[in-house]
Amino acid sequence: MSSPGSKIYEFGDYRVDPARRVLTDANGQRIELTGKAFDTLLYFLKHPGIVIDRTTLLSALWPDTVVEENNLNQAVTVLRRALGRDYITTVPRRGYQFTAAVHQNADLAHVVVSGGESPPSRKLPAVLAAGILVVAVAYALFGSISNGPADARRSPKVAVLPCDNLSPDTEDAYLALSLHQEILEQLGKLGGLLVVSRSSMMNYVADRPPVPEIAELLDATAVMECSVRYSAGEIVVTAQLIDPETDSPLWLQSYPGDLAEVSTVIDIQADIATQVAAALGVDYLPAEQQRLEKMPTASVDAYAEYLKAKQSVTWGGYTLGYSNDDFHRHINQAIEADPGFELAYSDRAIGHLSRAMDALIKHHRARDPDPNRDTPEQLLALARQDANTALDLDPAIGRAHAVLGAVEHILENRESAHAHFRRAIDSSPNDAEILSFVVGFYLRGGQQRAALELLTHIKRLDPVDRDVGFYFYLARDRQTAMQLLRRMLKLNPDDAYVHSLIGYCLALDGIAEQAETSLRLAEELHRRDAQVSQQGLSAGGLSTLAYAYGRIGLADDVQRLAEQFIRIADSKPVHPMRQAEIQLALGNIDRAYDVLSVMAERPLPPFVSLQLDFVLNTYNDPVLEEPRFVALRRNLGGEAFPDDAKAD
């Protein structure tokens, strides 16, 4: 025991005894710290409120040793995990500051032991103490209330703009696009940092508003710009992190390198991630550092083909772009160059899954199978094989678990699917692409509450993706869906699809005047787009608009669109769900029931959202609550029609 009169430090709900090297909380429970973390805390307590630069801290804590800053980062990380992030603030480009008020008292341990009165600063009214106990017990029983990873709501968020291509040869343009995605994935490996997803950032390929405007729309702490120039084997990557409040750089670095070594590119990506983390005060663990520096392949040819495969992915959802021939050609060549390239296997698994889903839809439409194409069953088997190979090489690849979850879901192995989806989320908690993919299957499996919890986190990562807005709509949270869709219009005021969804949601909520305005604007924009593409509204677009007009009582518009729909349906097959929408809009209830009965005999594959609207009655249509329609919905939906579906 320390002698009476030795100093005791108190801050917040914590108490530090330097002599005994003990940190305790408000309940007197000891909090274990590493030796160097305790030394760091003690130094902060002796210098409260002062901004201490890293060099000073390193000299004080390691006086006779030359160490890397990573050692200091680890000590601060341990402290923040023990105390929370509120006590130690990172001051960009300067150092750290201990922000709590610190009180120094004489050692009163002997008083407490003898049964004397506790120090006034440590006394709590009995009611408050009981309240703390209740909260502690509740936390122990139910865990964190947060919907996302720990401290997600307080974590810094960075938005990385698409890299500018400065390469003189147009054939090298793939490097800028691919390295942008690689940088996003590297930053996403840091658990304490939120990274705006690629799908949201690709909205800024052509149009670049001022940085403060971008940050405000995306709710970003900082915005990063980057450029890539490649010529004659030499690459230069330039990156700068911008503070949106001052519109000035927090950090700027240029990285020259030789592409003859894969390690050059990996080192550049890893250093960008760690520098961004340091500038924003994000701590990371040694395991995260190792993940950043891990070499995915030593083969220059394999890595080049892998980057080209990424560049060839056409954007439009997690799997939609992975089925094209260019992607498969490059990813196959990457694996041929390095048969141990786990990331290439996981991406090829997505490609096989994408093709399997497409094949299942074509099979549903009763098209003649192409003898030169793999069957859906063969493609699903290939997806499973590649995903398992990737996980054999690296068990922490989230997208490989996501693929296995999808395969098991399609094959109706729900328990196995859920286990893989859970591991995908745990492995990639800040990867919005993977999380959105999982949400889609949660919705199709009737897990509306789980989907909403995950969507709440995805919204932070993917704030301007209309697909996320659509998922909120499917999850029956139209208020949030509308919020996200209106945010999309700030980026593209002429997006016909977004105006259609907004008008549709307003119509279902009975807000007739605003709905009509949005629907008519959507039609006008669709017609303008059709003049460019020389294609009119699709059957799906016509049925959706007609149904929305019907919900707000515009019978003439319903009839007008129904006539256009019938002309299309007379010339090519149209899905029964679309036909049912038209019949419901026209008020032909019995005809709608007959059409839906046909769909129930030949349901769509379980990953298609089209029939989910009907199963969950996202329309809030009272007709679909009639007993005969409820029976159809339950029969068609299976697990997607849980007993509490309407309550959700």
In this predicted model, what pLDDT tens digit does every residue of 136-188 receive, in sequence order?
323 222 233 233 444 444 689 999 999 999 999 888 888 888 889 889 988 98
* Integer Rg of the chain from CA: 29
For residue 472, the surrounding DSSP H or E stretch is helix 466-474
Q: Is residue 58 in a domain?
A: yes
Kindly state whether residues 172 and 121 are assigned to the same domain: no
Residues 84, 194, single domain; the answer is no
User: What is the predicted pLDDT for the residue at 81?
Assistant: 80
Do the domain assignments include residue 455? no
Q: Is residue 472 part of a domain?
A: no
Residues 172 and 285 in one domain: yes
Residue 313 lies in a domain: no
Q: Which residue has the tokens 């990562």?
A: 461
- Considering the domain architecture, whether residues 278 and 328 belong to the same structural domain is answered as no
Q: What is the pLDDT of residues 498-548, one digit of tens each?
A: 999 899 989 988 899 999 999 999 999 988 876 655 566 788 889 999 999
371 within some domain: yes
Among 428, 457, 476, where does a domain finish? 428
Q: Is residue 589 part of a domain?
A: yes
Please state the rounded mean pLDDT for residues 16-39: 87
Of 83-92, 161-170, 502-511, 550-559, minimum mean pLDDT range: 83-92
Tell me the residue ranges of DSSP E strands in 201-233.
222-231
Place of tokens 């515009």: 554
Q: What is the pLDDT of residue 532?
A: 52
Q: Which residue has the higher pLDDT, 643 or 69?
A: 69
How many domains does the chain contain in total?
A: 4
pLDDT given for residue 604 in this prediction: 66
Q: What is the pLDDT at residue 150?
A: 40
Q: What is the pLDDT of residue 372?
A: 63
Helix axes 262-279, 300-311, angle to 10 degrees: 60
User: Residue 112 half-sphere exposure, CB side, CA atoms within 13 Å?
Assistant: 11
Q: How many CB atoms lie within 10 A of CB 201?
A: 24
CATH of the domain at 193: 3.40.50.10070
In a domain, 448, yes or no: no
Q: What is the pLDDT of residues 185-243, one digit of tens each?
A: 889 888 889 999 988 898 898 888 999 999 999 999 999 999 999 888 889 999 999 99
Q: List the single range of 67-81, 197-211, 577-591, 621-635 with lowest mean pLDDT.
A: 67-81
Range of the domain at 108: 7-142
Residue 506 and residue 569 share a domain: yes
490-499 pLDDT, tens digit each: 888 999 989 9
Express as a percent the part of the chain with pLDDT over 90: 32
Helix, strand, or coil here: 468?
helix
Phi/psi of residue 469, each to 5°? -60, -40
The Cα 550–Cα 171 span in angstroms is 51
Q: What would the mean pLDDT of 48-76 be, rounded to a whole number?
A: 81
Note whether 191 and 279 are same-domain residues: yes
**Among 290, 336, 331, which Cα is nearest to 308's?**
331
SS3 122: helix
Give the residue with greater pLDDT, 83 vs 370: 83
pLDDT, residue 370, reads: 62
267 and 363 both lie in a single domain: no
User: What SS3 class is residue 604?
Assistant: coil
Same domain, yes or no: 417 and 526: no
DSSP states along 518-580: HHHHHHHHHHHHHHHHT----HHHHHHHHHHHHHTT-HHHHHHHHHHHHHHHHHS---HHHHH
Burial of 271 (0-12, 13-18, 19+ CB in 10 A): middle
Report the predicted TM-score, pTM, of the whole model to 2 decimal places. 0.70
Q: Are residues 382 and 417 in the same domain?
A: yes
- CATH number of the domain bearing residue 35: 1.10.10.10
44 and 161 assigned to the same domain: no
Residue 519 domain-assigned? yes
Supply the pLDDT for residue 33.
86
Query: What pLDDT sits at residue 467?
Result: 81
Eight-class DSSP state of 170: G
Residue finishing a domain among 374, 406, 428: 428
Looking at the fold, whether 341 and 243 belong to one and the same domain comes out as no
The mean-pLDDT minimum among 34-43, 128-137, 584-593, 595-604 falls in 128-137
Confidence of residue 611 (pLDDT cuts 50, 70, 90): confident
The pLDDT assigned to 136 comes to 30
pLDDT for res 321: 64
Weakest-pLDDT range from 272-286, 333-347, 393-407, 540-554? 272-286
pLDDT over threshold 80, residue 362: no
**Which one-letter amino acid corresponds to residue 209?**
P
Cβ-Cβ contacts under 8 Å for 224 (sequence gap 6 or more): 158, 159, 160, 161, 239, 240, 241, 242, 276
- pLDDT tens-digit profile of 249-287? 999 999 998 877 888 888 899 899 989 988 888 887 788
pLDDT at 561 over 90: yes
Average pLDDT over residues 65-77: 77
One domain for residues 343 and 416: yes
Question: Between 99 and 529, where is the model more confident?
Answer: 99
How far is residue 64 from each of residues 37, 68, 124, measured CA to CA in Å? 18, 13, 44
Closest CA to 583 of 553, 546, 608: 546
In this prediction, residue 241 carries a pLDDT of 95
Q: To the nearest whole percent, how much of the chain has pLDDT over 70? A: 84
When the pLDDT of each residue in the chain is averaged and rounded to a whole number, the result is 81
Of 207-216, 427-436, 631-640, least confident by mean pLDDT is: 631-640
